A and B are shown apart, each in its own frame.
Chain A
Amino acid sequence: MTTLAPRLRWTFTDGLTLVGRELGRLRHQPGELAAALIFPAIMVVLFGYVFGSAIQVPGGGDYREYLMPGLFAMVTFTAAQGVMVRMAADASRGVMDRFRSMPMARLAVPFGQTGADLLAGLLLLAIMAGTGLLVGWQPHRGLAPAAEAVLLMIVLRYALSWVGVYVGLAVRNEQVVNQLVPLFLPFTMVSNAFVPTEGMPAWLRFVADWNPVSALTAAARELFGNPGLPTGDVAWPLAHPVAAVLLWSAALLLVFVPLSIRTYQRRGR
């Protein structure tokens, strides 16, 4: 009855049902879906041409080539928002209680949500890459490093979506969580995604250099062969961006998966 194999199978099956639920929701909200899909394209055009008209890339190079890895990182970091909002909505509307009173796999809800987000993330990255190619960006180092860059984005995205699971579960309030969403923007801006960190005040530069957004951006620049790689004496995460992204992902998963599961199963209330 409680052996591992059927449990795992149901966790997977129920998780898939919940992924299907998210896709079903999108089908009934064509407007929201369209907005979500157009967003990455708008970002490319907006940042590429507005900032691109004024910013000099350190060491030379095209600004849009410099920008794309930053935008990839920015889109990756939207993962936590969506998951957070959906978890909080389910918790505050009693849907979570219904799930927990049903004989379904206990872990299917967080795994279903993060799984659905992963699919959404792939789609967003594809659209962003397509738009990037249209405005003159391209990976220069071939397929394998490019695939490695995409994989890093996916891994970090998945880890970040667990942060969303935890925050959504811990806050349990749709309104409060919605007010947290705008806080993500400064988080992505304080990084090397759009401008080099060399010109920032020392304290801000320290924050920006150690921001995981910067590590992912630097890793993508390196693997895509895009301009803007830092030179000289740089912070450790920027000198070893691939390792930094993997470490960040592992750390986030190690902290937030157990926290989320404990919060989900907590039956105190």
Chain B
Amino acid sequence: MADPIVVAEGLHKSFGATHALRGLDLSVPRGTVCGLLGPNGAGKTTAVRILATLSEPDAGHARIAGHDVVREAGEVRTRIGLAGQYAAVDDKLTGRGNLRMFGRLYHLSRREAHRRADELLERFGLLDAADRQVAGYSGGMRRRLDLMTSLILRPEVLFLDEPTAGLDPRGRGAIWDTVRELAADGTTVLLTTQYLDEADRLADHITVIDHGKVIATGTPDELKAAIGDRLDVTIEDPAALRPAATVLTALAGTAPTTTDADRLSVALPGGGLRLADVVRELDRAGVAAADVRLRRPTLDEVFLRLTDRKEPVR
């Protein structure tokens, strides 16, 4: 594995009686996209805030490109970009005004700050709106400007804390494209998200955390393989749901879940199942199947299984 650029070891953080992090370990190889997944309150944002020098851990330590986030915070800050759930830009300024101001605060010369602002506006297709006040921007445009601001110094590591929360599909797609481009250019991206399809599409590596600890890591495929393939059955008559469930329970050894009135899904047992057997057994029970198929689990199913939340059972 390439050298890790983001390393966290045994991070602990409490807020009063709440333990946000209980020994979080993290290692992100340079130039990869790491997805940090977890239910609400799992500690994702706390972890990002510590890595981005906004918060200090109670115990444990973290390094960015070899620099300690507490003792060498200044060094860390020149290497990171942070874009968050809020579009953290000045509403009252124009898009260009924001980029120039933040450029100056990143200690670029006036000329450089202006040039970099123009460059980013051009690259992210915001030139037309550059001289309008940000207050009049759409949610997607603001989020894009927020992201552009975090890229002024061409950071080695970019932290994205739920970058597409609340965006429409077009806005989300635009952010995804940007993340892919940045990763292709060699930027390391640490992304927290609640949208599992987002992690599935963008992340090379996923770390699932819950209750402030890592509970699983792997590529999206590895995580899916870990919980096994699924069998989906769609029946013609919803009245046959119960007998169909009985058949599947007998075959798979676990009870299926229902996602619709006429659809059942069950994890395949270790030895696998033959579709022919499934069809024959359903037929014997008098259940007419409209569709029977084997598929890989979605990341949602992996997530629900790992975080111990019950799958929706009707």
Contacts and interface: CB of A to CB of B under 8 A. Distances in A.
B92 A104 contact: no
15 contacts: A2-B74, A10-B107, A21-B93, A28-B93, A28-B133, A93-B88, A93-B91, A94-B85, A94-B88, A98-B88, A98-B102, A100-B54, A101-B54, A104-B107, A269-B55
Contacts of B49: 97, 269
A102 B77 contact: yes
B94 interface: yes
Interface string A118-137: 00000000000000000000
Given A14-B105, A101-B82, A29 B52 contact: no
Given A29-B92, A98-B82, A267-B54, A24 B97 contact: yes
Contacts of A24: 92-93, 97, 101
A95 interface: yes
Contacts of B32: none
Given A28-B133, A104-B106, A108-B105, 5 more contacts: A95-B88, A101-B82, A102-B106, A103-B107, A267-B53
What range describes how many residues of A lie at the interface? 20 to 34
Given A28-B133, A101-B80, A267 B56 contact: yes
A17 interface: yes
A21 B55 contact: no
B220 interface: no
Contacts of B281: none
Interface residues of B, number: 33
A76 B55 CA distance: 36
Given A28-B133, A103-B106, A267-B56, A97 B92 contact: no
Contacts, number: 82
A262 interface: no
A244 to B, nearest CB: 38
Q: Chain B: interface secondary structure?
A: loop
A20 interface: yes
A102 B102 contact: yes
Contact of A97 (B74, B77, B88, B105): B88
A2 B73 CA distance: 12
A28 B92 contact: yes
A232 interface: no
Contacts of A101: 52-54, 77, 80, 82
Contacts of B133: 28
Contacts of A25: 90, 92-93
Interface in A1-50: 1-2, 10, 13-14, 17-18, 20-21, 24-25, 28-29
A157 to B, nearest CB: 23
A100 B82 CA distance: 10
Contacts of B130: none
Interface of A: 1-2, 10, 13-14, 17-18, 20-21, 24-25, 28-29, 93-95, 97-104, 108, 267-269
Closest CB pairs A-B (n = 6) = A94-B86, A94-B88, A25-B92, A103-B77, A98-B88, A104-B105
B82 A17 contact: no
A94 to B, nearest CB: 3
A99 B24 CA distance: 26
A22 to B, nearest CB: 9
B55 A268 contact: yes
B54 A95 contact: no
Contacts of B15: 268-269
Interface in B5-52: 15, 49, 52
Contact of A21 (B56, B84, B101): B101
B104 to A, nearest CB: 4
B266 to A, nearest CB: 44
B189 interface: no
A21 B100 CA distance: 10
Interface string B106-138: 110000000000000000000000000100000
A144 B67 CA distance: 56
A23 to B, nearest CB: 11
A21 B89 CA distance: 12
